[in-house]
Amino acid sequence: MCGIVGLYLKDDALRPELGRRLTAMLVEMTDRGPDSAGVAVYRNGVPEGWSKLTLFHPGPTYDWTGLEQRLAATLETRSHGLRRASHFVLTTAAPAEAARRWIGEHHADVRVMSVGESIEIYKEKGLPKDVAARFELETITGSHAIGHTRMATESAVTTEHSHPFSTGRDLCLVHNGSLSNHNRLRAWLRRRGIEIQTDNDTEVAAGYLTYRLGQGASLEEALEAAVKDLDGFFTFAVGTRDGFAVVRDPIACKHAVLAETDQWVAMATEYRAIAKLPGSEQARIWEPVPGEIYSWERSAERH
């Protein structure tokens, strides 16, 4: 099962509405994924040379301020952060890999959910409405976001196994479906230096895109390769710093629908999630063609 939602705002005036609109879509997909839910939001880009890391620790009283201050002192850099429930968005002038390495060495119980310039990931176990309330998603502003409601079929119900998965800078992926060759690909990717932390097949798909992009492929080229190399049934929604993309496998067993107006582009597993958006009755609506890649970016909107 599982449910996917995505919203890309063409009209910058709508950015204060992003969280509220995405939350309505996410909650509408509850019956497709009651185990856990998560979102990747793109907002508040950091200055050149800085990085933004989303961190997770299950402890309700975890000392995030202490972590941030120790990192800044050890790496002799500037940093600041904001707690949101079990997550902490750390912004630092230190190189991203240096910050990530320091966290791994000194705070091994903290998981790095994402690294980039504008991405923030929030995900947890529980019903989508409860997850949305915990992170106060309705208050979040931004340019675009993707979300996921999970019904676990092949790995544990944990925060770490929830979607989205991020394995590259400002890159994330959510997935409805199942991959049959993920164990072989996980080993193949790890030998090539891609860090994969769970046994979830979706993280393998995210890692595959990171590898192809690192080899110089464009996002479209990486997704074209994924359609050929990933065995199984899937619909992917991929978030990047500048936009998002959608692709279904060539057999297209998994549902997906796209909608576009002059103000926004939306994607969902079922139309009823898109129907929650103001203006949906005037949108151009269509089913993605199997194997065809659809993408929208701030630099060059296209599909």
Residue ranges of domains in the chain, CATH in brackets: 3-37+143-297 (3.60.20.10)
Tokens (6 digits) for 113: 């959910």
Report the C-alpha gap between 112 and 98 in whole angstroms. Answer: 13
Which of 41, 43, 39 has its CA nearest to residue 27?
39
Residue linked to tokens 């992170």? 135
Average pLDDT, the chain: 94
CB 95 within 8 A of CB 78: no
Whether the pLDDT of residue 301 is over 90: the answer is no
Report the C-alpha gap between 52 and 49 in whole angstroms. Answer: 10
β-strand partners of 88: 55, 83
In terms of DSSP bridges, do strands 111-116 and 51-56 run parallel, antiparallel, or are they unpaired?
Answer: antiparallel
Residue linked to tokens 């005036």? 13
CB 18 within 8 A of CB 140: yes
Report the C-alpha gap between 87 and 135 in whole angstroms. Answer: 9
2 is catalytic: yes
Catalytic-labelled residue, pool 2, 7, 27, 273: 2
Q: What is the predicted pLDDT for the residue at 303?
A: 40
Q: What is the predicted pLDDT for the residue at 151?
A: 84
Does an H or E element contain 219, and which?
helix 219-229
Confidence of residue 299 (pLDDT cuts 50, 70, 90): low
- Residue range 134-150, pLDDT digits in tens: 999 999 999 999 999 99
Report the C-alpha gap between 227 and 124 in whole angstroms. Answer: 29
Please compute the mean of the pLDDT values over residues 3-13 and round it to a whole number: 97
SS (H, E, C) 224-271: HHHHHHCCEEEEEEEECCCEEEEEECCCCCCCCEEEECCCEEEEECCH
Confidence of residue 300 (pLDDT cuts 50, 70, 90): very low
- Residue range 82-110, pLDDT digits in tens: 999 999 999 999 999 999 999 999 999 99
Q: Please state, as a whole number, how many other Cβ atoms lie within 10 Å of the Cβ of residue 66.
A: 10
- Residue range 233-291, pLDDT digits in tens: 999 999 999 999 999 999 888 889 999 999 999 999 999 999 999 999 999 999 999 99
Which pTM value belongs to this model?
0.95
Q: What is the predicted pLDDT for the residue at 282?
A: 96
Query: Residues 235, 4, 213, 218: is their CA dihedral positive or negative?
Result: positive
Which amino acid type is present at position 109?
A: D
